[in-house]
Amino acid sequence: MKPEHKLKIQNILIITIIGLFFGLFYNYLFYEHTITEFAEAGSIGILLGVIVGVIEQFVLLRFFMKKTFLFVTFIRSALYAIITALVLSSVLSIEISFVENISYRDAWMEYLHSKFFIRDLLFTSALVLVMLLSLEIILLIGKLNFLRLIFGWYHQPSEVSRVFMFVDLKGSTSLAEKLSNKEYSAFIRDYFYDISDAIAMFGGEIYQYVGDEIVVVWKFKKDNSNCVKSFFKMKEIIEEKSKNYIRKFGFVPEFKAGIHSGKVIATQVGKIKKELVYHGDVLNTAARIEGQCNPLKESLLISENIKESLSSNNVFSIMEKGAIPLRGKKQSLILFAVSTNV
C-alpha cells in the first residue's frame, strides 16, 4: 500500500473511532444501558465517522486550504448537521418501524416530528462544532504539541534522542525577487502544504517553519530510514505537481536537506504562548550539514550516525563526501550524499 493511501486510511480510522466513542457516550447519557442499545448507538457512530472521514480526506481537505476559519467552520457544521440528520432519521426509523409495526415512511416521519430528533440533532451539532474547533487548534499547534499540552509532557526539561532534518528551498532569494510579496507568500504556502503529507506519511513532526525553511523531527530509532524516505517522497510529490507550479508561478520548487541526530534537551517554554523547544548542538549541526548541499552539489546530505542507522535493505545510494569542515565546528564531520535508485 502506498504511504499516501495508508495515511488517508489512518485518518479515516481515527475519525471513525471518535464517531464510535461519541455514539456510545450519547447512548450512555440518553438511552437504556443495554447491549442492544449500545450496539445500535455504536453502529450509528461508526457510520457517521466513516462518512465524515471520507468527506474530509477526499473532498474537503484541499477545498478548504485557502478559506477562512469562520467560513470553514460554518460549512462543515452545516454539512455534518445535515448528514447527521439523514443518518439518524434513516437508521432509527428502522427500529421504530419494527417496534411499532408501521411502515418505514410513517416511522421516519414520526421520528422527525419527535422531541428526540431535535435533541439528537442539537447535541450532535454541538459536539461536531467542539470537535471542529479542537481540530483547528490541533492543526495550529500540531497534534503532538496538543497532546503534550494536555498531558504536561516535557513540562520539565528532559534529555531525548532525536533526528532533525532541515529542508531549505534552493535559490529562494532570486525566487522572491521574481515574484511579488503576495505571489511569493502563495508559493511558500502551497509548497509547505504539498510536502507536509510526505512528513506525516513517514512519522515525522514539523518542529518549525523558519522563512522558507522547514525543520522536521523524528524520535531516534534503530532504523531511521523513514527520514530519508520522507525527503524523497517530498521530491515525488512536487514532481507530480510540477505542472501546477509552472502554471501558477512559472517554475517548480527545488530544495535540499541535511539530516543529523543526537541527544537534545526537550522542554516547554513560554507563558502567553507555550511551545515545545529542543536545545542542543544537534540542531546547529543539522543546519550546517544542510548548508553544505550547494557547495557539494547534492540535494540530501546525512551525517555518519544517520548513515549507520539506515536499514540495509533500502533502495538508497550512499556516497561518502569525506570529512567536511562545518562553520562554527572545531572538527570536520564526515558527510554522505544520498540518492534513490527508483
Question: At 320, which CATH number?
Answer: 3.30.70.1230
pLDDT of 180 strictly over 80: yes
Helix intervals (H) in the chain: 3-30, 35-55, 61-63, 69-100, 104-112, 115-141, 143-151, 172-178, 181-201, 225-240, 242-249, 281-291, 293-296, 304-308
Could you tell me if 91 and 45 are in contact, meaning their C-beta atoms sit under 8 angstroms apart? no
For position 254, what pLDDT does the model report? 93
Last residue of a domain, one of 102, 122, 141: 141
Whole-number pLDDT of residue 64: 64
Residues in the chain: 342
- Owning domain of residue 227: 147-340
Cβ pair 49, 16 in contact under 8 A:
yes
d(CA 63, CA 42): 30
The span from the CA of 13 to the CA of 36, in Å, is: 24
Q: At what angle do helices 181-201 and 242-249 cross, to 10 degrees?
A: 170
CA 337, CA 307: separation in Å to the nearest integer?
10
Q: Contact at 8 Å (CB) between 204 and 216?
A: yes
Cβ of 233: how many Cβ atoms within 10 Å?
20
Q: What average pLDDT does the segment 237-252 reach? A: 92
Q: What is the pLDDT of residue 62?
A: 63
Cβ neighbourhood burial of 275 (10 Å; 0-12, 13-18, 19+): middle
Look at residue 1 and tell me whether its pLDDT is greater than 70: no
Which pLDDT value is given to residue 306?
94
Is the domain of 113 the same as that of 196?
Answer: no
Q: Does 130 share its domain with 33?
A: yes
125 shares a domain with 184: no
Rounded mean pLDDT, 84-113: 84
Amino acid identity of residue 168, one-letter, is: D
- Rounded average pLDDT over 49-76: 74
What is the DSSP-derived secondary structure letter of residue 274? -
Contact 77, 122 (CB under 8 A): no
Q: What is the pLDDT of residue 192?
A: 92
What pLDDT score does 260 carry?
96
Count of other CB atoms within 10 angstroms of residue 229: 21
Looking at the fold, whether 158 and 31 belong to one and the same domain comes out as no
* Helix (H/G/I), strand (E/B), else coil: 327: coil
The CB-side HSE value for 267 (13 A sphere, CA atoms) comes to: 11
Calculate mean pLDDT across residues 307-330: 83
Identify the band that residue 141 occupies on the pLDDT scale cut at 50, 70 and 90: low
- What does the pLDDT read at residue 237? 93
Answer yes or no: do 11 and 134 share one domain. Answer: yes
Q: Reply yes or no on whether the pLDDT at 307 is more than 90.
A: yes
Query: What does the pLDDT read at residue 149?
Result: 67
- Per-residue pLDDT, averaged over 292-302, amounts to 93
* Segment among 78-82, 140-144, 236-240, 308-312 with least mean pLDDT: 140-144
pLDDT reading at 158 higher than 80: yes
Residues 79 and 186 in one domain: no
The domain boundary residue, chosen from 141, 169, 191 = 141
How far from the centroid of its chain's Cα atoms is residue 218's Cα? 14
Q: Is residue 36 pLDDT above 70, yes or no?
A: yes
DSSP state of 59: I
Is 159 found in the same domain as 307?
yes
pLDDT higher than 80, residue 342 = no
Average pLDDT, the chain: 84
- The residue that leads in pLDDT, 279 or 171, is 279
**Partners of residue 165 on adjacent β-strands:** 216, 259
Q: Are both 161 and 62 inside the same structural domain? A: no
Tell me: pLDDT of 155 over 90. no
CA–CA separation, 52 and 340 (whole Å): 37
φ/ψ (deg, to 5) at 7: -65, -45
Cα–Cα distance for residue pair 23/38, rounded to 1 Å = 8
Does 87 share its domain with 155?
no
Give me the percent of the chain exceeding a pLDDT of 70: 88
Which position has the higher pLDDT, 140 or 123?
Answer: 123
Q: How many domains are there within the chain?
A: 2
Gyration radius of the chain's alpha carbons: 25
Q: Are residues 288 and 197 in the same domain?
A: yes
Name the domain boundary from 91, 124, 141.
141
Evaluate if residue 238 carries a pLDDT over 90: yes
pLDDT at residue number 53: 81
- Mean pLDDT value across residues 79-91: 82
337 — pLDDT class (breaks 50, 70, 90): very high
Residues 105 and 172 in one domain: no
Neighbours of 129 (CB within 10 A): 16
Q: 205 and 332 share a domain?
A: yes
